[in-house]
Structure 1
């Protein structure tokens, strides 16, 4: 007797139910969406690798939800397969289900790159990245939040002694929300290295950047949706200019249809993100 394979969307719905979040799936035009029984402000747009609407249609849907005061998260199939725990933690935080800790009850600690890597791989959807400055908030002997920053970069086009630092990653431990935590870490960085500003990006797949605005960041730019090639065998994402060297060499003289056919033959699929918002908070 054969066993019917459960879809990844149903798997997500069950995983949410297992941690106490009731939801339901429904269709809207060519989209499959998920809404929560006790919240009418957060929705998930479930995008499958093999069959999904185009970027223009998806962007129009997101803008329509934003205009009505609702947040629409773009959740891709490959992200669910590779980061299920982080997704459930992020949704729990957005729905206000986490244990809340006030930042004033935490202590700032400078940490190593390996310590940051371990924490961010467990708690950030994009994993870790190399950083110059790394700080954790400690509560009851454990890391409850980590933020990483670049070194100071000279911005001479603004003025001779102007420097900028990028907030690269910020994440809280699974099950925790640290009120004022990111603000505390940014203020610590500013006091420590004295940059002229701190800049960062909000991932429009998951955020409209409202949290940064509340911290005093100013919206200074927007990066449009970007094409991504997904290696379906290993669930690795590549921007077109960062494809493996052997693929870049093999496709450099091909037309776009020829390149697409070649990449499809290697089990690569073309997907996209919704772009980013760029924010800056002046420090001087």
Structure 2
């Protein structure tokens, strides 16, 4: 009788089968398939070190063994060093302890040495024999407790139970100081009552429900703008809540003022001082000051710089003379001061940008001798002065334009003056302006000579002009023979809701309540805002025979 053994377990099996049981058959089948799968993915590769052929699944493998890889790299592989090993190689333990105690922050020291922060702490603890766990006495309950030091600099004074109680008290006080943490709906009148006290110290004067959302409220700014905020924003700390719509300089630097600062930075690389108080200002502040150019720029928000009572019934500063005072102090120090109103920056920004670029020497240069003079043309002059003069076009008796290469680059207009105190034979310069972002050398002088010839022919003997102190002191007039004869007091306008209008539009009316013009306008929400006045210049000219 022939004895047959199982292929898998080598035990006796029955004839007609290769396995003693079905389990051995399935096990053998799994083993055979696994071996075939392993051999299927092997690839023949050549070792770069010894040149022998070896098999591996990854075709990027370059060496057949670790020894071959070490030989090709001229030594053993680099192992990762601990922080302690690195520091021992760099300095002595005494120097390390001195450096660790000198630098107050472990994180800063770790960045300096480019090592692990926890490794530095552990190395220092090991050198100073500081245990990882210490026992301390709680200052509040006098109970001894164990504390695991995260760093040798760690210090605790309260046990975990007392510390947890203190944090709960802090959170309780924080919550009680603000509207409750229930679902806050603006439809609830109590919520509006809770929010109202937070309007104090801001430019918001009224809070109301938001029609579009239950979780928002509408805040009305003192300038008339409407701002929508979430009700839950009033849980935040007061320093992070919005205090205005962006119009009030008193609650921080306004958005237009930031735009003005960025404009100046784009025009010049010289030092720009923001919100500084130079000695010559005697305690007053300048928004922008460029010492190398002897140039200063002020941005006037209409609400904050008007007589509108922001703090009860009292104005915070002397509104009437504040702009004139800054102008006079800058003039005494030889500094040119440009003062810009909020509405001018919004509506006539291109003119102001041209004015600033000219002040810092970034405008293009032209020569008046290359141009020709032409007499007044109403339509062209109207459009030109509306685009180039801060006050726009005004009616005039005559005008002269300077053309270079067929383009109008500068213009002057004359009118009969309403001020008869300087004589009946006096004519006034109504407007003088130049093409934007352009400086015409000798432009005013050439236009003035052409105007003087016409003035003599008409029988006038004096030329009167005013220089707006918000933009300069009239140096161009002094350089062309004008004499300074005085200064007007600050003029005033009326502002409301970000709009500034001439005072002649708001004269006293019998149909309104109030004994004075100011009272009537204040009742309507209009408040006065002042400029810096005007410098007055006169030039006497001879007749045709004398010339």
TM-score (norm 2): 0.46
Please give the residue correspondences for 1:241-252 in structure 2 after superposition, counting only pairs within 5 Å.
242-244=504-506, 248-251=509-512
| TM-fit CA distance, 1:255 | 4.7
- In structure 1, the partner of 2:541 is 283
Contact 1:39-1:95 within 8 A present in 2 as well = no
Distance 1:32 1:81, change over 3 A: farther
Distance 1:179 1:260, change over 3 A: same
- In structure 2, the partner of 1:150 is 415
Distance 1:169 1:156, change over 3 A: closer
Residue by residue, what CA displacement relative to the aligned partner does 1:247-272 show, whole Å, maximum 9, x if unpaired?
Answer: 734447435674253131xxx33211
- In structure 2, the partner of 1:8 is 256
Residue by residue, what CA displacement relative to the aligned partner does 1:185-222 show, whole Å, maximum 9, x if unpaired?
Answer: 11101112313121110001111112211110011221
- Of structures 1 and 2, the larger Rg is shown by 2
Q: Is 1:166 matched up with 2:444?
A: no
Segments of structure 2 that go 5 or more residues without pairing to the other structure are 1-228, 230-241, 247-253, 278-282, 306-316, 543-547
Distance 1:27 1:237, change over 3 A: farther
- In structure 2, the partner of 1:86 is 351
Q: Is 1:187 matched up with 2:449?
A: yes
| TM-fit CA distance, 1:152 | 8.5
Distance 1:24 1:100 in 2: 28
Secondary structure at the counterpart of residue 150 of structure 1: strand
From 33, 36, 49, the equivalent of 2:287 is 33
Q: Is 1:212 matched up with 2:496?
A: no
Distance 1:255 1:95 in 2: 44
| TM-fit CA distance, 1:180 | 1.3
Distance 1:156 1:20 in 2: 44
- Provide the aligned C-alpha RMSD in A: 2.9
Contact 1:152-1:163 within 8 A present in 2 as well = no
Q: Is 1:262 matched up with 2:516?
A: no
Higher strand share: 1
Aligned residues: 272
Distance 1:200 1:172, change over 3 A: same
Distance 2:513 2:382 in 1: 35
- In structure 1, the partner of 2:301 is 48
Secondary structure at the counterpart of residue 321 of structure 2: helix
| TM-fit CA distance, 1:27 | 4.5
User: Which of 122-131 and 61-70 deviates more?
Assistant: 61-70
Distance 1:244 1:66, change over 3 A: closer
Segments of structure 1 that go 5 or more residues without pairing to the other structure are none
TM-score (norm 1): 0.84
Q: Is 1:133 matched up with 2:133?
A: no
Distance 2:514 2:441 in 1: 53
| TM-fit CA distance, 1:147 | 0.7
Secondary structure at the counterpart of residue 49 of structure 1: coil
Distance 2:376 2:480 in 1: 24
| TM-fit CA distance, 1:65 | 1.6
Distance 2:514 2:322 in 1: 31
